[in-house]
Each structure stands twice: as structure tokens, then as C-alpha cells.
Amino acid sequence: MDINLYSQGDVNKWVYSTCNICSIGCGCYIGVKDNKIVGIKGNEDHDINRGRLDPKGENQWYANNSPDRLLTPLIRKDGTLQPASWDEAMNLIVTRTKETLRTIGSDGIAFYSTGQGTLETYYTIAKVGRAGLRSHLLDANTRLCTATTEWCLFQSFGADGVPASFEDVDLTDTIMFFGHNPAETGTVFFERIMERKRRTGKPYIIVVDVRKTLTAKEADLFLQLKPGTNLALLNGIVHLLLKNGWIDKDFIREHTVGFERIQWATEPWTPSLAAKVTGIPEHIMEMATHVIGTTNSLVCTTLQGAYQSADATSSCVAINNIHLIRGLIGKPGSGPLHMAGQPSSSGNRTVGGVGTYPGNRNPGNPKHIKEMAELWNVNTSDLEVGPEKGIEEIVHLMEKGKVGLFWNINTNPMASLPNRQRAKKAFENTFVVVQDPFLTETTEVADVVLPPAIWGEKEGTMENADRTINLLTKAVDPPNGVKSDFDILLDFAKRMGFKTKDGKPLITYETPEQCFEEWKKVSKGRPSDMSAATYEKLKENNGLRWPIDEKHPLGTPRLYSDFKFHTFPDNAQTYGKDLFTGRPRTKEEFESMQANGRAILYDTHYVPSVEQPRQEYPFWLTTGRLVWHWHTRTKTGRSPYLQMIAPEGYVEINIVDAESLGIIPGELVKVSSPRGSINVPARVVDTVQPGLVFIPFHYGTWENNQSANELTVDFTDPLSKQPTFKQCSCKIEPVRNKITISEKQTFEDIAETNALSLEELAKINHMIPPYRADIGDQIEVPLSRTNVEIPPYMPYRNIQIFPHFSQAELPFKKE
């Protein structure tokens, strides 16, 4: 139950819904009083969460009632955003759209949406964008989140859709969290696992991460590897699996192609080479391989530590390879579970708002294009061919003036894109529409702002990380002057006059449910078939996993239980790409692999991170999330509770590095990379390894200089085009005042005045006892110092408080 609810008095009603924060897809009820959302509680009957909610989920409703919500469209006039009517705003967008179509063409219009919307909104983006505008520049912040999931699934299995589900997590003997920290990013999922672990001792938990995360602290085996070496580790593990014969030869022969490629690619990856590259001791790697090689069931999860790293898609394909060569897929308790970050990022892919055509249709296959044209009753030639472009490529087109209109829906790229100063210049060079309930860093570069409804104020469906389709119902009306994303798109389609080839309106549905009914027809016969689903059925069953069709009327807990994969050329969702270069394959090249229903094994080749530490920038920088905040805090920053717990950005630095730089906990430091610099307080911890620093990406307005993305690189994975947020170089310098000691001051005075202990002041100034400073000597003191402690969340955690800091290691401490 939401801890805030008791302060609100009795509610009038509880409205069935689904949490709109992370990718777990928890069922919930929204508390309503006087047509206002006043709280939330977990749905005890929902299999996914059984009443649990994550702290961000519990506090998401504050945003709905926030006094700074936008209640009218805004148009930039004379350099400032000014209130406008919906007619003015929409007509301006339509005028600009038509002008772009005339002057640049269809691919002069780009949509950049979200992973937090409904399937119905995404499907409408697909229809408006692809059939209406005939653009193929449809992308979303899912590019930063789970594009790698999609591409690793295409490559190995021929289509999207995670093979395993949360049910398998409940059954498995072994789970490997690979670059995945669910203790902070999916707490309900992690609690579900830990509850079973405490009760039964299962599953055996392996964690692979560069940081000693809260998840790693609960692991049976923790592999702390060097940044950017995921694939080196996986190649080392596969080498050992093959060497020890821990493979299922029958499964490989009958259900896969390409085994010989794995053999030659991993042959050089002896434990000694893998240990040298990854920094993981050989015996630890051998222990991990022994567990993976002999377990009867295995679930491997991946998230941003895999997706936002070097060799992202190759690493996830290597995990698929492990499942395939062990024959641990499509069986209870087994299969890769490549996670999502957002509540419905996979849903955007499924219905074609991003990525391929709706229903897992291949944009390079003339038959699939023809099917879509028939379903939408448009000319085949209206639907663009070829793989999608990622946001980095769209930013490049914006820089070159080749995008005339960029429509940004419910995401904040000016805080979330890597190397954000480059992105800012590109946005300033383009007509930008921003759909957001609040003013954000991105509305600062917008020409038009449209205020949409938030969760609880609209209905629709979402797809979580394990293919579950959940229903959201409308608990309250949106504030006056606010429209749902879905209605905004329908309005745009009407104003644009989009037509079918018969001259009838392109979009005839008027409600999300009618849209869902149309989508069901589009999905029929495809991997993500939802033809047997209805809103009512989704609610009755608390969500169902696709495919939901005649054969599986109550959904499908795991894919590929018949070991038949979507790799027939006319069934595949793409023809794939070369795993090393990212070059799209032709149909003939795909056919020549002769997979034809079998899974595809690949040779995976390690390539080091593009940018690495060096003399000028001696540290690795990695970025990530906290348990207390979501994305750029547009919602969670409006919860007093969450904001109070974790109010500002910081950098985590290892004790050893802090010692050598003379940095004390909480003092302000400047972190610089070749892209820019930020000023944040330092947390001195043992959770990052020496040579690595960590900065949460949630923070940073244009004014307060704390955005991690001032520093990050905008290199992308060659297949998924997902940016490599997790590896770049940086340097750290304390930000200090210099005080010249006068005749009336002592060293002790300066320490006291600046709220420092003598030892801290001595450390800052690299002094050893006795701490003598003479008149005229210059003493450095921190420009500022902040309490950077963040409280723990989950009760079973063994740790009490951050930061970890060992005073005993100070060299001048007296016994």
C-alpha cells in the first residue's frame, strides 16, 4: 500500500490499472477521491507483483497533481514559449508538416516517442508516420533502452519476443544477471526472486557487473569485470563450455545452424586470455562456467550493463548462444530473458511505432510490405522499405538540416541523450514539437509544446519485459485543456487529411479499445499475435503474454517450446545484420544461412571500447540509475518523498582513487571528459572499482551543471544503434578555495570554519602529521560539501548506509 495514502482520507474508488514506471508491469489500483488521484496500491491478485510495488511506482501519482503541469499548448514566439489554443498549435504543426513534405520529403519528418506509452498510441504513431507521412524516421527513447534486446533476438531467433518469462524465473535452478541490477531497477522482480531464494535456496545467483551493485551483494557468485569486456568474458565462458563438453549436441544438431562458427571464434579465448582482458580471476570464471555448464535450468537476464556497453548486440547474442548450445531454451525454467527498462518499450517495437513494421513484419520483405499495405488499404509504394534509423543518425540528419519537423513524445532527450550539447545544437537547428506534461530541458528547444494526459488519465495497454500485455484504465479525467497522446495523434491525422487509397480516412478508430481491435487483425498470424485478446480478458486475467491466439487463448508463458524459430526467410522479422560490422544482410544472404526454422549461432568477436582512459582522462566513466528515481525525474522529482531522499547528482569514486586525489566524501568535484564538464559532490565508495567512476543520469538541468550526458560519448552499437553510455573516459579534480594563512589564523581554525576535521583538511592538502601550516601558506578547502548518503530501500539488504569509507586506511592515523 502506498505509504502516502493514509494522509488522504478514505478514497471514493479504487480503479484497476498497471504501474507505469519500470518494465516489470505490476498490477495496481489507483485511489481516487473527488476525481483526483490520491494514492496507489498493488494488485494482490496480479501474478507479476502479488501486491508489491516499487518505491517509484508508489510515488508516481504525485506528478498527476503537480501544480506546474502544463494545461495549454505553448508556441514559441519572439524566442519564448507562450500559451496558445489547441487549434493554433495543431494548425502550426500541420502547416510545418506540409511544408516539410514539400521541401524535404517524407523522411524530413521524424517521430521520437517513448517506452512509457500505450500500444494504441504506438500503433497510431506507426500508422500516421508510415502510411500517413510515409516516413521511416520513427524512433523512440527505447533506442537508449532496449534496442539491443530487439536486435539480439532478431539475430538468433529471427523475430522479437523474449523467449523466457517471469514464470521461468520462479522455476529455474540458476539465474545470471548480466549487466542487470534489478535490486535497484526492478525491485518487485528482485524481491520475487529473493523471496524464493530465502525459502528454497534457489536459484543460484550469478551477477556480472563492473560495479558491486546491490544485486551483486546478494549473489552466490559475483564476477566484477573491467569496463567494456562483457564479450571477452562470454567468449571465455563459451570456450570452457566447449572444452568441457557441457553442450547438448542433439539440440545443436537438430535446432541450430552455425555451431562451427562458435568453435573457431572462441578457441583463442582461453581462461588466461579472458582473465587478462576482463580482470576476473581464472578460477572464478571456471566456477561460473561450471555452474552454467551443469545446471539443469538457466535463465540469463540482461539490461543496460549489456545494452549500453561495447559489443552490446554481440554480447547478448553470445548469451543466446550459451542457451542454445546447452539446449536450455523453450523449457520450463530456461531461456534468455533480455529485459526492458521501461513499462512498454517492447510494446512500441511490437506494434511498429519503432523498429520494424507492426506485427514483427520485415521492412525489407516485399511480401510483408504488401501485407501491411493491404491491411491499411494504402498503396505498397507508400510504405517505405528498409531498416530504421536510430536517434544518433536522426540527430546527424538534423545537424545537416535534413529534418524539417521532429516530433518528440513523452521523453526528455535534452537530458537523456549522450553528448547532449551536440544534440542540443541539432535540435536548435530543427522545428521541434514536444509532447510533455511539464516544462523540461527539451521544451527549452521546442517550437511547439503540447500537454498530454498522464497515467491514470487515459486507457490502453502496455507490454512489459516478459511479453505480458496489461491493461490501464482511466481513473480520472485529465485536467481541462489536456488531451491524451492518442487523441492528439488522431486530431493530427484528421487535420492532415490522411486517406486510404480509396479516399476514405486512413484512421477510422476513435477510442483506444477500437484501435486495439484493429491491431489484433494486424497481428493475426504473426509472432506477436493478439487476436484472442480483449480488454476485458486482459483485465480478468491480470495480463496475458503474447502470442494470445486461438491456439493459446490464455497466452504463452515461454516461446519456442516446440524449438521452431522464426527463421524461415518469409517469416523472419528482418534478414539480420553482420554481427561484427552491422551491415544489413540481403534476402539471399539470409537464405544462404539455411536456418529455416532453426536458431542461428554466431561467432562473436570482442572489440574494445572506442574511448578508453589515458593520461589526460585517466578514469572510466559509467552512468546508470538509482532505486529512487526514474529517467530524468520528470515524474519522480515531483514526489517530495523521492526528491528528498535523492535530491541531487553525484559521482561515486573508489576509496583508493579518492585517497590518491585527496578527495573527501561529499566535497564538490569537477568531472570532465572531451565533451564537457560537470560539478557534483563525490561519494567515496567501495562499490566501484579503482579507475572507474559512476554518475547517475537522472540529474542535470541546463542551469545546474550535473548532467552525466554532458560527458558521455555518442558512439553506438553497430547493430542496435544503442548508445554506449557505459564507457567513456574522464578526469576528476576537486573544486576548492585557496586560503592564505594569516597571522590570526591557525590550521585548526581553518578546519573548524569549513566544518572539516583536522584529518580531512590534512588529507585535502596532502599533509602528514604534525599538521603545521605557517603564515602565508596556502591551504585548500572544498568549495562546498554535501551529505551524499542515500538510505537503503529493501529490508533484507545487509548494508546499512552509504558511503563506505574507511578512515582506518588513512596513512597518518595514530593507533
Partner 1 sequence: MYHTIARTYQTFQYLLENFPINNNPLELRIKPLLYESNHVLYQILLILHQPQPNLHQLKQLFSILYRDDEALEPLVRAWGRASLWMEVTPSNIVQHRLDLYQNIQKYLKRLVPYIKGIYGEEDARYIVPPLYRRKVGADY
Contact set with partner 1 (CB under 8 A) = 98, 101-108, 132-134, 136, 310, 364, 366, 380-382, 384-387, 389-390, 392-393, 396-397, 402, 496-498, 577-578, 580-586, 588, 607-611, 614, 616, 674-675, 713-716, 718, 721
CA distances from 175 to 642, 743, 766 (A): 30, 65, 46
Q: Which residues contact 99 (CB under 8 A, 6 or more apart)?
A: 404
Cα separation, 430 vs 445, in Å, equals 9
Q: In the bound complex, what is the minimum distance in angstroms from residue 418's beta carbon to partner 1?
A: 11
- Tell me whether strands 80-83 and 27-33 are parallel, antiparallel or unpaired: unpaired
DSSP state of 144: G
Q: In the bound complex, what is the minimum distance in angstroms from residue 717's beta carbon to partner 1?
A: 10
CA distances from 742 to 478, 771, 773, 779 (A): 63, 16, 10, 11
Q: Judged by CB, which is closer to partner 1: 497, or 640? A: 497
Q: Judged by CB, which is closer to partner 1: 118, or 314? A: 314
CA distances from 418 to 68, 77, 715 (A): 27, 29, 9
Cα separation, 492 vs 513, in Å, equals 19
Q: In the bound complex, what is the minimum distance in angstroms from residue 93's beta carbon to partner 1?
A: 13
Q: What count of other Cβ atoms lies within 10 Å of the Cβ of residue 19? A: 30
Cα separation, 756 vs 767, in Å, equals 14
Q: Judged by CB, which is closer to partner 1: 389, or 558? A: 389
Q: In the bound complex, what is the minimum distance in angstroms from residue 232's beta carbon to partner 1?
A: 13
Alpha-helical (H) ranges within 460-561 are 485-496, 512-523, 535-540
C-alpha cell at 305: 550493463
User: Is the bond into 547 cis (omega within 30 degrees of 0)?
Assistant: yes
Q: Judged by CB, which is closer to partner 1: 499, or 804? A: 499
Cα separation, 631 vs 801, in Å, equals 24
CA distances from 374 to 154, 370, 502 (A): 25, 6, 12
Q: In the bound complex, what is the minimum distance in angstroms from residue 608's beta carbon to partner 1?
A: 5
Q: In the bound complex, what is the minimum distance in angstroms from residue 651's beta carbon to partner 1?
A: 20
Main-chain dihedrals φ then ψ at residue 673, nearest 5 degrees? -135, 175
Helix or strand holding residue 221 (H, E): strand 221-224
Q: In the bound complex, what is the minimum distance in angstroms from residue 133's beta carbon to partner 1?
A: 6
- The distance of Cα 607 from the centroid of its chain, to the nearest Å, equals 23
C-alpha cell at 264: 573457431
Q: In the bound complex, what is the minimum distance in angstroms from residue 357's beta carbon to partner 1?
A: 14
Q: Judged by CB, which is closer to partner 1: 429, or 745? A: 429
Q: Judged by CB, which is closer to partner 1: 472, or 579? A: 579
Q: Judged by CB, which is closer to partner 1: 392, or 466? A: 392
Q: In the bound complex, what is the minimum distance in angstroms from residue 612's beta carbon to partner 1?
A: 8
Q: Judged by CB, which is closer to partner 1: 369, or 646? A: 369
Whether residue 113 contacts residue 354, with contact meaning beta carbons closer than 8 Å, is answered with yes
Q: Judged by CB, which is closer to partner 1: 56, or 130? A: 130
Q: Judged by CB, which is closer to partner 1: 89, or 137? A: 137
Q: In the bound complex, what is the minimum distance in angstroms from residue 248's beta carbon to partner 1?
A: 32
